[in-house]
Structure 1
Amino acid sequence: MLHFLAAAPESPVCALMRELCFTLAFIDDGALHLVLARLEIDPERNGGQRSRENQYSLSHYNASIGVVKDRLESTGLAVHEAIIGVVVNLASYDLFTDNFTRWKMHMLGLQKMIQYRGGIHSLNSRYLRVTATWTNLVGSMAIDQDPYFALDQADLNKARHLQDSAPEEPLDVLQRDYPDSAGITVLLKLLLSLSNLVAGKSELGLSQDLALMETLHAIVYITLTLPRYNERAIDSDDPLSSIEATYEAFRLAMILYLSGPVMFVAGNKFSNPVASHLSWKLSKLLKAHIIDWTGLEQAELFVLAFGAVTEVGCGRHWMIVQLNHTIVERGLRWNVLMDNLRSMAWVDIVWSANLNKLGDDLTHASGS
């Protein structure tokens, strides 16, 4: 999930993860083996290229698991925080290597151990609380499921307040012309609240902003715990209604969009496991359902734009064709599209490079 070696400036999550790994390595053999496994595949050592698991990293990984198993056999669920830290890093390694079967297994174990202690906020180590939370969030986003750890009620209340304080003007048309859009309204308010929080701040300031980290955590948590229809969207024998399909398309686009800010806060410069695992669901849903975007024109642009920037191959090409058709039909220019996106969400810094590439692709599509 997180790049592992020192990089300046670092995000708070990245710094905490690295410090946790190396600190534990001094006192626990399992953690030491895991550090060696991560170093084997870290992209910082491979010219920025994403590395694949190899026999050396897997050997250290398995040795780490062996140490953890021995510890658990003697302690059960009443484990020391050092063991929890090693399991957190095992789950992070699983994300790094795109092994969600192992990630689920380790997260279920973490959930039981942490619940036994009284919940994630009962952990004494801030390192553990933050790294466990973000390992949980990134994986849950990638496979689109509820997070394993519940959000603290105080943090949830703060997020709700931020959401409720979002300006109403951009929502007026939506609420007036599309009354069945309660779920989309929640998502739009979350987008606007995040955009307001980062307004006027520098990239360096944002990369070290603890308030942003906490707020983003809450926004992702709320988004992931909203109703989802993706299984029915994929099952052609039980198609979604028009309203359900519209909401589901926006919800999936929201998760894909949030992966940009999440990767920024997590300090992951080399990959986006959320986009690589989830983007195909959005394009498949849009191909299977005819959605009437009347009254939701800005939402449609958001869905198509972030579907396009996160998809690859034929799926990306299809998304670009749909977006280009919509832009031409409405007589929009690229700068107007960007203004529309900026009016809804924080797109600069976290999605700048991807959107610039999308702009080039749209120019090529228009000229072909």
Structure 2
Amino acid sequence: MEIKFKVQKAPIVPKPPLKNIQPSTLAFVQVNPAKKDKAAQRKIRQHVMKDIGLSRRMGTIRTPHPTSESIFIPTYWGDAQVCYNFRRLFRAMDMVSEGLLSIAIVDPVLRLRQKITATFESPPTVEEIQQYTESLSLVREGIEAESKASENAIIGTVICLATFDMRAGNSESWMVHMAGLERIVAMAGGVEELDSRPAIRQSLFICDLLGSMVEDSEPRFPLPRDLPTLREATRSKYVQKLLTSLRTDEPPNQEQTAVIDGALTLANQVAIFLNEEWLVSPFALDLLIPVCALAHQVLSLQRKISLPQRKEILNATSTEILAEIVRISSVCLFALVMTQSSGDALYIAARRNNLVKQLMAQLDDKFWKGKEELQLWVLVIQVCMGVGSLKPWYLGQITQTMPRIRLRSWEDLMNCLRKVVWIEKVSPLEMTHLRSDIGEWLS
């Protein structure tokens, strides 16, 4: 039996039409062997091999890189004075151990942000604790046996530890490290001996000053020997009149009048420096050291009232309370400058309290008569500090005081502040909000 299968016929696929390949228009007529004729070889390379190479060549594959994803390469701006001093400070801090500098100036920023935003504060990492312990061990070994570490390394390490604790908000540890620095510097020959080591001396000065600014305490170490000379500030007519009236009060208090004079003079000096010289050429001048030097002098002014001792406030005279208010306000003005120039809110965050309100509550309207410009100056500085829930109280005091001296516009208020002392571009955000609030009240 024969079995037959029915096979399905596949459809006939039409052949693609032949490409119209045009013959080359170039024809060679070669008599001599082409290998020996250089001109013929050149023609072959130019015309024949050209088409063959193009048939095999693939285009270059380029990966697109949008501008937004490109890596930013920082530009070197040259040896500006402010950069030079920061570099000296960082070298002094970084010379003791690897990674200590980053702990001192980077990690505490996260802690500060957590405190300001009232979020949960995570405990220190194992790496931080290990680095901190190693640094303390280095200090102990250096103190026990001087041959194991140089004096610069010991002092630099303690400076780093103090800076870390200051920025992390560990006030007690900062005080312990600063007390240790006093002993170590004394054993090294005193601060006069450190004047010959500019990097260490400047690091010690800045660490001491910034920590004292946060704590509002008197600096432990004196000013360095070599400091830039600033132009002397003259008292305004209003300040001269104010000081004259304070000297004629009964009973006169020359010490507290000198504190008010010193605080306003130093604030005026930094205002002249920032309003005129630094505004013209910000990168040609050294901003860090002059401002810190003036802040050092403000923090060194006499303090009659030890805040927050309630008994001392109640027993203090009106002039003593006014002197403390003016001193605190000048320190706050320096804190605003440091915060604005560094971007670090640590210096003003430490002053967001009710101390100024507590002091001003002890002075009645009769005492402020004739001193309204100074009163407004104090109130506006506190508003710039970002006092939070206390802002309505300060705004109420400002709006009550302005009509007494016939201030009817924002420009009138600014002219009033300039009579005392004012830095034109300080705290721009808070000043904008204050201007809006004053505008609503005036309307």
Structure 1 and Structure 2 fold alike (TM over 0.5):
yes
Q: When you count helix as a share of all residues, which structure comes out higher?
A: 1
Aligned-pair RMSD on alpha carbons?
Answer: 3.6
- What corresponds to 2:143 in structure 1? 72
Of the three residues 154, 170, 175, the one matched with 1:104 is: 175
Q: Which residue in 2 is equivalent to 1:354?
A: 430
Q: What letter corresponds to residue 302 of structure 2 in structure 1? A: P
Question: What letter corresponds to residue 174 of structure 1 in structure 2?
Answer: L
Q: Between the two proteins, what is the percent identity of the paired residues?
A: 20
Shift of 1:334: 1.9
Instruction: Report the residue type matching 2:191 in the other structure.
Output: I
8 Å CA contact 1:21–1:89 kept in 2: the answer is yes
2:118 equivalent to 1:55: no
What is aligned with 1:242?
Answer: 318
Name the aligned partner's letter for residue 296 of structure 2: Y
What's 2:64 paired with? none
1:334–1:234 distance in 2 versus 1, CA, 3 Å: farther
Match of 1:270 among 344, 368, 377: 344
**1:294 maps to what in 2?**
369
Asked if 1:185 is matched to 2:261, the reply is yes
Q: Is there any run of 5+ residues in structure 1 with no aligned partner, and where?
A: 1-5
Query: How many Å separate the matches in 2 of 1:324 and 1:69?
Result: 58
Instruction: For residue 363 of structure 1, report the CA deviation from its aligned partner.
Output: 4.2
Counterparts of 2:377 and 2:134 in 1: how far apart (Å)?
45
Unaligned runs of 5+ in 2: 1-73
Corresponding residue number in structure 2 for 1:345: 421
**C-alpha spacing 1:82/1:233, structure 2 compared with 1 (3 Å):** closer
CA contact (8 A) 2:305 2:320 kept: no
Counterpart among 206, 229, 241 of residue 173 in structure 1: 241
Q: CA separation in 2, counterparts of 1:230 and 1:207?
A: 40
CA contact (8 A) 2:338 2:347 kept: no
Contact 2:303/2:324, CA 8 A, preserved across alignment: yes
Distance 1:42 1:256, change over 3 A: closer
Q: Which moved more, 1:141-150 or 1:324-333?
A: 324-333
Q: How many residue pairs are counted as aligned between the two chains?
A: 346
Please show how residues 143-222 of structure 1 align to structure 2 within 5 Å: 143-152=215-224, 163=232, 165-179=233-247, 180=252, 181-203=257-279, 205-206=281-282, 209-210=285-286, 212-222=287-297
Residue in 1 aligned with 2:102? 35
Query: Shift in Å at residue 314 of structure 1?
Result: 2.4
Out of 381, 384, 400, which is 1:309 matched to? 384
Aligned with residue 160 of structure 2, among 86, 89, 93: 89
Is the partner of 1:283 in helix, strand or coil?
A: helix
Letter in structure 1 aligned against 2:204: A
Match of 1:226 among 286, 301, 304: 301
Secondary structure at the residue paired with 2:202? Answer: helix
Q: Check 1:16–1:348 CA distance in 2 against 1; reply closer, same or farther (3 A cut).
A: farther
Distance 1:232 1:139, change over 3 A: closer
Describe the superposition over 1:56-114 as per-residue Cα deviations: whole angstroms up to 9, x where unpaired: 264233333233333333239x9521221121121111121111111111111112222
Distance 2:415 2:122 in 1: 42
How far is the alpha carbon of 1:117 from its aligned partner?
2.5
Alpha carbons 1:279, 1:311 under 8 Å: kept? no
Normalising by the residue count of structure 2, what TM-score does the alignment of the two structures yield? 0.67
Contact 2:278 2:285 in 1 (8 A): no
CA contact under 8 A between 1:253 and 1:306: conserved in structure 2? yes
> What one-letter code is carried by the residue in structure 1 that aligns with 2:435?
G
The answer on whether the counterparts of 1:138 and 1:274 sit within 8 Å (CA) in structure 2 is: no
Question: Is the contact made by 1:301 and 1:323 (CA closer than 8 Å) also made in structure 2?
Answer: yes
Residues 329 and 378, structure 2, Cα contact 8 Å, conserved in 1:
yes
Structure of larger gyration radius: 2
- Matched with 2:16 is none
Shift of the alpha carbon at 1:147? Answer: 0.5
Counterparts of 2:294 and 2:234, CA distance in 1:
13
Normalising by structure 1, we get a TM-score of 0.79
Q: 1:241 to 1:73 in 2, by over 3 A?
A: same
Instruction: Give, in whole Å, the separation in 1 of the partners of 2:342 and 2:75.
Output: 11
AA partner of residue 262 (structure 2): V
Q: Distance in 1 between matches of 2:222 and 2:435?
A: 39
Query: Secondary structure of the residue that 1:295 maps to in structure 2?
Result: coil
Structure 1: distance between partners of 2:193 and 2:298? 24
Per-residue deviation, 1:296: 2.5
Q: Distance in 1 between matches of 2:179 and 2:139?
A: 15
Cα shift readout 1:264-310 (whole Å, capped 9, x = no counterpart):
5xx52031335524643222222344361233232212111112221
